[in-house]
Amino acid sequence: MTTVKSMGSSCSSTNPSSLTDKKPLKNALIDDRDKYRSQIDRINVVLDIVKQLKNYPTLNTGPIDLYKEEYVYVQRLKKIFSDYIKQPQDDLKQFKGVVFFEETVKRDAEYILPILKSQEPLFVIRMKTKRA
């Protein structure tokens, strides 16, 4: 996992006027915060994924619910989603991995839960699994 910390810019100039000018640093911090997903943004990412899992399309029988409490992989997903949402804003980490849906479709679900607003989340159930 990648750790990204929001850091303010440091002043390397020895010019006294640049050391007392706080406005550019303040604006840099505000701009920096705007790059990262807030907790509300992260909740919305997770809710979108859960909605799709609850209405997973099938060819023959119509949509099925892949997000039932009884499935072992759902407990793993809940832990991943909870950790992603609850992480501190000053120590954000992108979550990336694979969860095997053993009780239902018998396929891998690959996920990327980003922290940057410029990156799109990914949650894909692969047609072929890497498992034997």
Looking at the domain assignment, is residue 12 inside a domain?
no
Residues above pLDDT 70, as percent of the chain: 72
Residue with tokens 């000018």: 21
What digits encode the pLDDT tens for the residues 117-128? 999 999 999 987
Looking at the domain assignment, is residue 71 inside a domain?
yes
Per the structure, the complete domain to which residue 76 belongs is given by 35-125
Looking at the domain assignment, is residue 17 inside a domain?
no
Looking at the domain assignment, is residue 77 inside a domain?
yes
How many domains is the chain built from?
1
Looking at the domain assignment, is residue 19 inside a domain?
no
pTM, entire model: 0.72
